[in-house]
Amino acid sequence: MKQYNQEFPIERMAKVMGVSRSGYYRFLKEKQSLRDQANEQLLEKIGLIHQSSFETYGSPRIHAELKASGETCSRKRVARLMKKHGIAAKMSQSFKKTTQQSEKPYFVAADLIQQDFKADSPNEAWVSDISYIPTQEGWVYCAMILDLFSRKIVGLSIEARMTAGLVLGALRQALTHRRPPAGIVHHSDRGSQYTCQALKLLADQYGIQLSMGRIANAYDNAVAESFFHTLKTELVYFQTYKNLEEAKMNIFHYVYGFYNQRRRHSTLGYLSPVQFENEFFGEEKISLLTVH
């Protein structure tokens, strides 16, 4: 009836349909009330997801999270409710690349990646980078290692000085937890921490193929750069760290508690890195069972 109320009087349509005018308006009110209740319930879920994402999720990722939990709603509806109630992803700030290159490197590797940031399985290729983190006591430095297959952070080190030990700490952590096969590629820029003798010796010990992009070319290590952009624009720029320990605690919590476990990536079909790897290993297991 509502779609024809501009063409025909409500009273006449109500009579044709065998309902009273007051009954029709009561029906509209009840229908609107049920819709409002549903929207309130959905809005509460949206708010909880937004908070648990460090307020970084916009409507696409929140919709993906709702869908995964069994909620049936459109992305447009989620976006409309978020806009109406002022729920939005944090606004990104500008991000500057801050690593340094060495004038006299001990070793420089060829670029084995060539801006092809794809891998067919975990522990096939890792990328690494360093960035500065501000604290009230001065800069601290963060080195990370990311698996190109799942975008999972597999090594993370935060220290007060930007030395070879910083990247060695992240690499040793990754080697301990992932136990990659010989031949894995470790890609980085040509910062002095990556062209030093200590890293070359550790790489040789574990059969790691070192790979390095060109000097001052951010595109050669774009995925690593992208991670630090995400870290800074979703977390660091909204914090005021007192010291190294506070920065460490907050960043480790974000990376291992949220980024790896729950943050949905558009490049992974809106799965988190852990979910993406779990799907891969699940399918691999099924494939092996089928073969045997």
Q: Using a CB cutoff of 8 Å and minimum separation of 24, what contacts does 37-43 make?
A: 39/81, 42/66, 42/71, 42/73, 42/77, 42/78, 42/81, 43/81, 43/85
Q: Looking at the predicted structure, is the pLDDT value of residue 244 above 60?
A: yes
**What are the beta bridge partners of residue 133?**
140
Contact indicator for 63, 78 with CB cutoff of 8 Å: yes
Q: What is the mean pLDDT of residues 124-130?
A: 98
On the CB side of 87, how many CA atoms lie within 13 Å of its CA?
A: 25
Q: Looking at the predicted structure, is the pLDDT value of residue 56 above 50?
A: yes
Q: Give the sheet arrangement for strand 125-135, strand by strand.
A: 152-159, 138-147, 125-135, 185-188, 209-212
Q: What is the mean pLDDT of residues 219-231?
A: 96
Q: Which of 16-20, 80-84, 179-183 has the highest mean pLDDT?
A: 179-183
pLDDT of 239: 94
Distance from first CA to last CA of the chain, Å, rounded?
62
pLDDT of 165: 96
